[in-house]
Structure 1
Amino acid sequence: MKTVNFAILGCGKIGTRHADKINSTDYVRLTAVCDIIPERAKSLAEKHVCKYYTNLQDLLRDDNVDFINICTPSGLHARHSIECLEGGKNVLCEKPMALSVKDAETMVDVANKKNRLLYIVKQNRYNPPVKLVKQLIDEGKLGQPILCSINMFWNRNDQYYLSDPWRGKIDLDGGTIYTQASHFIDLMLMLLGKPKSVYSLMGTKNHDIEIEDTGIVSAEFENGAYGNLNFTTCATKKNFEGSITLIYSKGTIKIGGEYINTIEYFQVEGVDSYELEQSNNTANDYGTYRGSMSNHDQIFSDILTHYNNEKYNGKLVFGNEAIETIKFIEGAKRSAKHNTIIYF
Structure 2
Amino acid sequence: MIQFAIVGCGHIADKHLEAILQVEGAQLAAVCDTNVLRLEEWGARTGAATFIDLEEMLLRMPEISVICICTPSGLHAPLAVKAAQAGRHLIIEKPVALTIEDGDAILRAVQRYGVKAAAVHPNRYRPAVRYLKWALDSGKFGRISHVNATVRWNRNQAYYDQAPWRGTRAMDGGVLMNQAIHNLDLLLWLFGPVQDVQAMADTRLRHMECEDVAIATVRFHSGVLGVVEAATTVYERNLEESISVFGEHGYAVIGGPTAQWIKQWKCSSMTEGEIAQLRAKVEQDPLGIPGHQRIIQDMVTAIREDRSPAITAADGMHAVRLIDQMLLSSRAEQSQI
TM-score bin, normalised by smaller chain: over 0.9
Which residue, 322, 326, 334 being the options, matches 2:316?
Answer: 322
- Asked if residue 302 in structure 1 is aligned to residue 298 in structure 2, the reply is yes
Take 2:241 and 2:87, find their aligned partners in 1: how far apart are those partners? 38
- Asked if residue 176 in structure 1 is aligned to residue 170 in structure 2, the reply is no
Q: Residue 64 of structure 1 corresponds to which residue in structure 2?
A: 63
Displacement after TM superposition at 1:63 (Å): 1.2
Please, which runs of 5 or more residues in structure 2 have no aligned partner? none
Take 1:15 and 1:46, find their aligned partners in 2: how far apart are those partners? 15
Q: Match of 2:236, as an amino acid?
A: K
CA contact 1:129–1:255 (8 Å) conserved in 2: yes
Please, which runs of 5 or more residues in structure 1 have no aligned partner? 283-292
Which residue, 305, 328, 331 being the options, matches 2:325?
Answer: 331
- Asked if residue 36 in structure 1 is aligned to residue 30 in structure 2, the reply is no
Q: Residue 233 of structure 1 corresponds to which residue in structure 2?
A: 232
**Equivalences, count:** 326
- Cα-to-partner distance string for 1:62-91 (whole Å, 9 max, x where unaligned): 112110001000111112111111121100
Q: How does 1:136-285 map to 2 (within 5 A)?
A: 136-272=135-271, 273-274=274-275, 275=278, 276=281, 279=285, 281=287
CA contact 1:145–1:192 (8 Å) conserved in 2: no
Take 1:142 and 1:253, find their aligned partners in 2: how far apart are those partners? 9
Q: Residue 89 of structure 1 corresponds to which residue in structure 2?
A: 88
Take 1:66 and 1:315, find their aligned partners in 2: how far apart are those partners? 14
Take 1:195 and 1:303, find their aligned partners in 2: how far apart are those partners? 28
Displacement after TM superposition at 1:208 (Å): 0.8
Take 2:257 and 2:290, find their aligned partners in 1: how far apart are those partners? 13
Q: Residue 6 of structure 1 corresponds to which residue in structure 2?
A: 4
CA contact 2:126–2:286 (8 Å) conserved in 1: no
Displacement after TM superposition at 1:306 (Å): 2.0
Take 1:176 and 1:294, find their aligned partners in 2: how far apart are those partners? 23
Take 1:252 and 1:315, find their aligned partners in 2: how far apart are those partners? 31
Displacement after TM superposition at 1:281 (Å): 4.1
Q: Match of 2:331, as an amino acid?
A: K
CA contact 1:86–1:110 (8 Å) conserved in 2: yes
- Asked if residue 17 in structure 1 is aligned to residue 11 in structure 2, the reply is no
Displacement after TM superposition at 1:280 (Å): 6.9
CA contact 2:8–2:32 (8 Å) conserved in 1: yes
Q: Match of 1:56, as an amino acid?
A: L
Take 2:190 and 2:136, find their aligned partners in 1: how far apart are those partners? 8
Displacement after TM superposition at 1:9 (Å): 0.4
Runs of 4 or more consecutive aligned structure 1 residues displaced over 3 Å after TM superposition: 276-282
SS of match in other structure, 2:139: coil
TM-score norm. by structure 1 comes to 0.90
- Asked if residue 122 in structure 1 is aligned to residue 125 in structure 2, the reply is no
User: Using a 3 Å threshold, how does the CA distance of structure 1 residues 211 and 294 change in structure 2: closer, same or farther?
Assistant: farther
SS of match in other structure, 1:174: coil
Q: Residue 288 of structure 1 corresponds to which residue in structure 2?
A: none
Q: Match of 2:35, as an amino acid?
A: I
Q: Which deviates the most, 12-21 or 250-259?
A: 12-21
CA contact 1:215–1:231 (8 Å) conserved in 2: yes
Displacement after TM superposition at 1:265 (Å): 0.3
- Cα-to-partner distance string for 1:282-301 (whole Å, 9 max, x where unaligned): 9xxxxxxxxxx952112112
SS of match in other structure, 2:64: coil
Take 2:158 and 2:87, find their aligned partners in 1: how far apart are those partners? 38
Q: Match of 2:313, as an amino acid?
A: G
Take 1:92 and 1:184, find their aligned partners in 2: how far apart are those partners? 19
Take 2:228 and 2:21, find their aligned partners in 1: how far apart are those partners? 36
- Cα-to-partner distance string for 1:108-140 (whole Å, 9 max, x where unaligned): 111011000010000000111100011112222
SS of match in other structure, 1:95: coil
CA contact 1:126–1:315 (8 Å) conserved in 2: no
Take 1:67 and 1:168, find their aligned partners in 2: how far apart are those partners? 29
Q: Match of 1:73, as an amino acid?
A: P
CA contact 1:125–1:315 (8 Å) conserved in 2: no
Displacement after TM superposition at 1:24 (Å): 2.1
Take 1:16 and 1:41, find their aligned partners in 2: how far apart are those partners? 13
CA contact 1:16–1:44 (8 Å) conserved in 2: no
- Asked if residue 50 in structure 1 is aligned to residue 44 in structure 2, the reply is no
Take 1:310 and 1:83, find their aligned partners in 2: how far apart are those partners? 22
Q: Match of 1:189, as an amino acid?
A: L
Q: Residue 290 of structure 1 corresponds to which residue in structure 2?
A: none
Q: Residue 286 of structure 1 corresponds to which residue in structure 2?
A: none
Root-mean-square deviation (Å): 1.9
Take 2:186 and 2:11, find their aligned partners in 1: how far apart are those partners? 24
Displacement after TM superposition at 1:315 (Å): 8.0
CA contact 2:261–2:286 (8 Å) conserved in 1: no
Take 1:41 and 1:316, find their aligned partners in 2: how far apart are those partners? 31
Q: Match of 2:52, as an amino acid?
A: T
User: Using a 3 Å threshold, how does the CA distance of structure 1 residues 124 and 19 change in structure 2: closer, same or farther?
Assistant: same
TM-score norm. by structure 2 comes to 0.92
